[in-house]
Amino acid sequence: MLHFQDAFLFFDGGMGTMLQAAGLAPGELPERLNLTAPDAVRAVHRAYVQAGSDVITSNTFGANALKFGAETDAVVEAGVRLARESGARYVALDIGPTGALMEPLGALSFDEAYALFAQAVEAGARAGADMVLIETMSDLYEMRAALLAAREHCNLPVLATMTFSQDGRTFLGADPETAAITLQALGADALGVNCSLGPAETVPIVARMAAVTRAPLIVQPNAGMPRMENGQTLYDVTPEAFAGCAAEMAALGVTVFGGCCGTTPAHIRALRARLSSLRPVKREDPHLCAFASGQRAVILQGGPAVVGERINPTGKRRLKEALRAGDDAYVVREALDQQDAGADLLDVNAGLPDIDEATVLPRLVRAIQAVSPLPLQIDSANPQALEAAVRACNGKPIINSVCGKEESLRAVLPIARRYGAAVIALTLDEDGIPDTAEGRLAIAGRILQRALDCGIAREDVLIDCLTMTASTHQAQAMETLRAVRLVKERLGLRTVLGVSNISFGLPARESLNAAFLAAALEAGLDLPILNPLGSAMQTVRAFRVLCGQDAGAADYIAHCASLPAPAPAVPAAQAAVPSAPSAPGLRSLILGGRAGEIVPALRALLPGRSALEIIDGEFIPALDEAGARFERGELFLPQLMACADAVKAGFDYLRGLDAAPVATKGPIILATVKDDIHDIGKNIVRMLLENYGYRVIDLGRDVAPERVVEAALREHAPLVGLSALMTTTVGSMQRTVEALRAANAPCRVMVGGAVLTAEYARMVGADFYARDAAEAARIAAQVIGD
Amino acid sequence: MYAPEVDRSEMLRYAGLAGRELDEATARRAGAMTGVCLREARPAWRYALFDLAFDGEAPALGNILLPGRDIARHLRGARRCAMMAVTLGLGAEQALRTMQQRSMADALLLDAAMSACVESAADACCRDIARDAAASGLYAGARFSPGYGDLPLSMQRAFERVLGMQRALGISMTDGCLLVPQKSVTAFVGLYPQQPSRAKDGCDLCPARAGCVYRRTGGACSCPERSDSREGEC
């Protein structure tokens, strides 16, 4: 078994530049040489063996089925064989990015990426590789797919390195801590940095990783920052300077060394010589309790971190409706609102009896992590849903939750272990919730032992001592707080509590919540689960001052300064009988695009009028007016969209009320056509149509004709809207229209987009040309009616 | 390090607000979105210079042949040619997507700010190219991008091959050769023995001319060739 910590281990250096020197034509895939010029590849490997490389990396960086199709296995196997034939002590199967950008910014799905990596891993393991090196990843999500594929398709050690820009982040925004925490969680046997930067620029990045991980560290920098001359990429750092930086990194605890672009056997020889007199530095396990998204890490140190509780349909009508209708945009806004209010993590729960949680929960995870950088807490009682969602989740999530019941322990702990997630343990078991703090402590201890037996790190187990409702279990409030103290003292574990439950069934709930929260924080609560849009955040901010987490009360002061001045007190009589705001009030708020003021105005209006009256009597006429002004050139697109934003805010509020109508007109199917990815125009149309009460099924961008046809037939949609921004994609539009006609889809088709004209629209066979969003709304009214 | 810039009048032009008196709310939004753009954009570029040869009529950069009449006419008289790629980065792309979830009005203005921002970054890249050109006594001309005139979009693949855009800049390409991040620009820049005339090919060559939403609304696209564009440095 290889060790990556006890002694220095030397990899090889750059391959591409050496192969070009050996005659690789520009534009040719370097991995193809494994089949066409094996001697040249073997010669490069041999030069590194002679320079002192312990490990030779196979020439398989881009050898995946996207680039090599049916030849993939042969290219990988030949690559590993050539490395072996060079006389290498060890051979590392090299795996680089697929070359395709992953969802959500690109088109490659997690499962597709996983399958590509799995194929390469299996071929490499079959050919006799000693370890897997996953390198040059700039997307943590892609790295996650590759690491899981390696762990699940071979038994070899896996080393994982990411590439960073000069600002210390990957292209997709992960910082070194986030990368290290995630890679350690996923079980990388060594982790670190390669490519992009020169050795000097790499040192501070490695130092940041070293501070947050116990995993052995690997570094393979470029020979300096690249510079282009005469169409050639040049690197300037000499072997001696390169080796000098390596000594600095050895002092930080790095034990595995090699080079990337521009490095040569001379660099490796110098590296070996320079480190021969040094011994590996012993590193301490920092035992951090940490979580991560794809961009951000939350490390529990010196104070609490807040988990936003709002993405949970229990008792929330609008969220239930959104989950049932597949309206992920609403859920995403709940995520952004909580983020803005100061949440550090987000709980995600989709538990409704009539939806398939195992499908919906991972979909929500993908939708939320596409826009929010907060780490997620995956909340479900259904193990299948938990696993599917944790698998889809970037970074290192928390699982909420396991409990002391045998069935739960057996189902949930292996998921936490497999994905390196932290896990919340509820202090209840087959006998229910113990009445005493000691009883809960005992269950916590039992769950901890089972988690340790399963291979989960101690710091990844979080204990929920369970908040009981004060109205029904008054004596339990203090017992819960005592349990928190005991768990911290006796087990040294972090604690979690759902705060709001304390006040259920009692008036002025926020007061009770605040008192309980303050007491719990003092008792040692680390992760309060609460509604960050309420006043509880202020209690947390205050506590952070008192416990010293908010140094100099800087955040507290800054937050207080950002609050609006309190409104002047309204005499009670006036407040009780609101003078019915006149209709033009709402209308002018909409026409002024004042989205933030819509909800208060609606609250005042609603006692006297139904939601439907407001929609038909206020929203729609105001939208029509905005559309007319837009048409006359009095309003411009950003202003029209501000009106639409305001109406949308109003709709969302009304839909949260009991008697509000659900969008039923339509449906209208929208898509940006195949090969086109510019979809802001389509999204504008969608918003306006939804404002008018249509149900819109948005298929997204780069949508193949078959998908449009399938959706049109399945939904019996009377209207399909297609957008294209490029002249080159008008052809895709035409093919989509033809496919709809050929399938006899009973729909009309409207088209729009920057390059479209009425003439083009006729040419591609559309029924309508929507020159702008307002026109699209008029077409919808004409086809579907009110 | 180059810091991102947003030219306000260009931004308003992209937003279809050129020459308009902005109401206070829109002006405030525009200011806020300029701030978001400056915070999220991480402009970066790469370019490579080639000797220019002509294979018959067709310009050739090493083994890369540039197809079509328009680029041949554009590069007539040039001795060398640069291939450049500029991007605001995937963080900007992500920010733009997120803003669409928050507010479409803001997203439109952010999109416009980022269009102006990537143009300024492309101008800055062209200044570097012009500086290199000056060292060998040459003058840099205007940018000419794949998809413009009859130069096919598939030429983007040559930029990936030459510049390694994905690894160096985080720019990737869809099957249809569109760039992601969307706020990215690739272009050929001719280097001439004399200061090239500022005459632009203008919108006449533009394949999107017929239905151009910008022309219709008095705005402008991001094409440096458009007849009413500012005089660029390159």
Is the pLDDT score of B222 beyond 60?
A: no
Is the minimum CB–CB distance between B207 and chain A shorter than 8 Å?
yes
- State the pLDDT at residue A583: 46
Nearest CA in chain A to B169: A171
Judged by average pLDDT, the poorest of A124-138, A268-282, A289-303, A659-673 is A659-673
| Domains parsed from chain B with CATH numbers | 8-217 (3.40.109.40)
Instruction: Read off the pLDDT of each residue in A712-739 and give the average, rounded to a whole number.
Output: 91
Nearest CA in chain A to B83: A231
- The CATH number of residue A70's host domain is 3.20.20.330
Interatomic CA distance for residues A223 and A275, integer angstroms: 18
Is the minimum CB–CB distance between B193 and chain A shorter than 8 Å?
no
Is the pLDDT score of A596 beyond 90?
A: no
- State the pLDDT at residue A436: 96
Is the pLDDT score of A144 beyond 70?
A: yes
- State the pLDDT at residue A729: 83
- Can you say whether residue B168 is alpha, beta or left, with left for phi > 0 and alpha for psi between -120 and 50 degrees? alpha
* Residues A335, A234 within the same domain: no
Candidates A163, A232, A639; nearest CB to B26: A639
> Residue A621: which residues within 8 A CB-CB, separation 6 or more?
A587
Is the pLDDT score of A572 beyond 90?
A: no
* Residues A326, A453 within the same domain: yes
Examine residue A322 and state whether it is found in any structural domain, yes or no. Answer: yes
- State the pLDDT at residue A158: 98
- State the pLDDT at residue B214: 57
Interatomic CA distance for residues A268 and B84, integer angstroms: 33
Q: How far is CA A763 from CA A530, A730, A731, B205, in A?
A: 56, 10, 10, 21
Is the pLDDT score of A731 beyond 50?
A: yes
Contact A645 B105 (CB under 8 A): yes
Q: What is the mean pLDDT of chain B?
A: 87
* Residues A164, A200 within the same domain: yes
Interatomic CA distance for residues A450 and B169, integer angstroms: 46
Examine residue A540 and state whether it is found in any structural domain, yes or no. Answer: no
Query: Can you give the residue range of the structural domain that contains A506?
Result: 303-530
Q: With contacts defined as CB-CB under 8 Å, which chain B residues touch A97?
A: 166
Nearest CA in chain B to A166: B1
Instruction: Read off the pLDDT of each residue in A405-420 and give the average, rounded to a whole number.
Output: 98
Q: With contacts defined as CB-CB under 8 Å, which chain B residues touch A171?
A: 89-91, 170
The alpha carbons of chain B give a radius of gyration, in whole angstroms, of 18
- Among A275, A294, A323, the domain boundary falls at A275
Interatomic CA distance for residues A121 and A151, integer angstroms: 9
Judged by average pLDDT, the poorest of A48-57, A578-587, B72-81, B91-100 is A578-587
Give the percent of chain A with pLDDT over 70.
96
Instruction: Read off the pLDDT of each residue in A311-333 and give the average, rounded to a whole number.
Output: 90
Q: With contacts defined as CB-CB under 8 Å, which chain A residues touch B49?
A: 228-231
> How many beta-carbon pairs below 8 A join chains A and B?
166
Q: What is the mean pLDDT of chain A?
A: 92
Is the minimum CB–CB distance between A171 and chain B shorter than 8 Å?
yes
For residues A142 and A64, is the Cβ–Cβ distance under 8 A?
no
- In terms of pLDDT, which residue wins out, A577 or A411? A411
Q: For residue A781, what pLDDT band results from cuts at 50, 70 and 90?
A: very high
Q: With contacts defined as CB-CB under 8 Å, which chain A residues touch B29?
A: 638, 642
Q: With contacts defined as CB-CB under 8 Å, which chain B residues touch A138?
A: 170
- State the pLDDT at residue A757: 86
- State the pLDDT at residue A169: 95
Nearest CA in chain A to B109: A638
Q: For residue B234, what pLDDT band results from cuts at 50, 70 and 90?
A: very low
Predicted ipTM? 0.88
* Residues A81, A132 within the same domain: yes
Is the minimum CB–CB distance between A684 and chain B shorter than 8 Å?
yes
Nearest CA in chain A to B158: A27
Examine residue A563 and state whether it is found in any structural domain, yes or no. Answer: no
* Residues A219, A248 within the same domain: yes
Contact B212 A645 (CB under 8 A): no
Q: Structure tokens of A377? A: 């807490």
Is the minimum CB–CB distance between B212 and chain A shorter than 8 Å?
yes
Is the minimum CB–CB distance between B53 and chain A shorter than 8 Å?
no
Nearest CA in chain B to A136: B167
Interatomic CA distance for residues A582 and A595, integer angstroms: 18
- State the pLDDT at residue A609: 84
Host H or E run for residue B163:
helix B156-163
Matching residue, tokens 């605040």: A514
Interface of A with B in 306-365 (CB under 8 A): 329, 332-333, 336
Chain B nearest CA to A369, separation (Å): 10
* Residues A100, A142 within the same domain: yes
Whole-structure pTM value? 0.91
Instruction: Read off the pLDDT of each residue in B213-229 and give the average, rounded to a whole number.
Output: 52
Interatomic CA distance for residues A540 and A528, integer angstroms: 9
- State the pLDDT at residue B203: 65
Q: What is the DSSP string of B122-150?
A: HHHHHHHHHHHHHHTT-EEEEEE-TTSTT
Q: For residue B200, what pLDDT band results from cuts at 50, 70 and 90?
A: low
* Residues A712, A638 within the same domain: no
Answer whether the bond into residue A434 is a cis peptide, omega within 30°.
no
> Residue A247: which residues within 8 A CB-CB, separation 6 or more?
A274, A275, A278
Is the pLDDT score of A647 beyond 60?
A: yes
- The CATH number of residue A745's host domain is 3.40.50.280
* Residues A307, A425 within the same domain: yes
Q: For residue A574, what pLDDT band results from cuts at 50, 70 and 90?
A: very low
Examine residue A190 and state whether it is found in any structural domain, yes or no. Answer: yes
**Which amino acid is it at A53?**
S
Instruction: Read off the pLDDT of each residue in A85-105 and give the average, rounded to a whole number.
Output: 95
Distance from first CA to last CA of chain B, Å, rounded? Answer: 20
- State the pLDDT at residue A755: 79
Q: For residue B232, what pLDDT band results from cuts at 50, 70 and 90?
A: very low
Instruction: Read off the pLDDT of each residue in A387-398 and give the average, rounded to a whole number.
Output: 98
- The CATH number of residue A318's host domain is 3.20.20.20
Examine residue A316 and state whether it is found in any structural domain, yes or no. Answer: yes
Interatomic CA distance for residues A473 and A476, integer angstroms: 5
Q: Structure tokens of A72? A: 């993939």
Interatomic CA distance for residues B44 and A97, integer angstroms: 21
Interface of B with A in 100-129 (CB under 8 A): 100-105, 107-109, 111
Is the minimum CB–CB distance between A786 and chain B shorter than 8 Å?
no
Is the minimum CB–CB distance between A195 and chain B shorter than 8 Å?
yes
Candidates A231, A594, A756; nearest CB to B162: A231
- Among A599, A629, A655, the domain boundary falls at A655
Is the minimum CB–CB distance between A678 and chain B shorter than 8 Å?
yes
* Residues A455, A486 within the same domain: yes
Candidates B26, B178, B207; nearest CB to A638: B26
* Residues A638, A706 within the same domain: no
- Strand ranges (DSSP E) for A404-460? 422-426
Examine residue A477 and state whether it is found in any structural domain, yes or no. Answer: yes
Interface of A with B in 268-297 (CB under 8 A): none
- State the pLDDT at residue A576: 44
- Indicate the SS3 state at residue A224: coil
Chain A nearest CA to B197, separation (Å): 26
Opening angle at CA A375, ends A373 and A379, nearest 5: 135
- State the pLDDT at residue B22: 87
Is the minimum CB–CB distance between A628 and chain B shorter than 8 Å?
no
- B106-140 burial: b if 16+ Cβ within 10 Å, else e: bbbbbbbbbbbbbbbbbbbbbebbbebbeeeebbb
Contact B16 A27 (CB under 8 A): no
Is the pLDDT score of A513 beyond 60?
A: yes
Is the pLDDT score of A1 beyond 60?
A: no
Examine residue A719 and state whether it is found in any structural domain, yes or no. Answer: yes
- State the pLDDT at residue A725: 82
Q: With contacts defined as CB-CB under 8 Å, which chain B residues touch A262?
A: none
* Residues A120, A242 within the same domain: yes
Contact B153 A674 (CB under 8 A): no
Judged by average pLDDT, the poorest of A36-45, A115-124, A639-648, B214-223 is B214-223
Output the CA torsion A503→A506→A510→A511 (10° steps): -100
- Among A599, A632, A655, the domain boundary falls at A655
Give the percent of chain A with pLDDT over 90.
77
Q: With contacts defined as CB-CB under 8 Å, which chain B residues touch A370?
A: 97
* Residues A221, A81 within the same domain: yes
Question: How many structural domains compose chain A?
Answer: 4
Instruction: Read off the pLDDT of each residue in A12-21 and give the average, rounded to a whole number.
Output: 86
Contact B210 A231 (CB under 8 A): no
Chain A nearest CA to B117, separation (Å): 18
Chain A nearest CA to B29, separation (Å): 9
- State the pLDDT at residue A786: 61
Interface of A with B in 568-627 (CB under 8 A): 592-595
pLDDT digits (tens, 9 = 90+) for A179-237: 999 999 999 999 999 997 899 999 999 999 999 999 999 999 999 988 877 667 789 99
- The CATH number of residue A648's host domain is 1.10.1240.10
Examine residue A548 and state whether it is found in any structural domain, yes or no. Answer: no
- State the pLDDT at residue A717: 94
Q: With contacts defined as CB-CB under 8 Å, which chain A residues touch B174?
A: 106-107, 675, 677, 702
Strands B58-61 and B64-65, bridge-based pairing: antiparallel
Is the pLDDT score of B220 beyond 60?
A: no
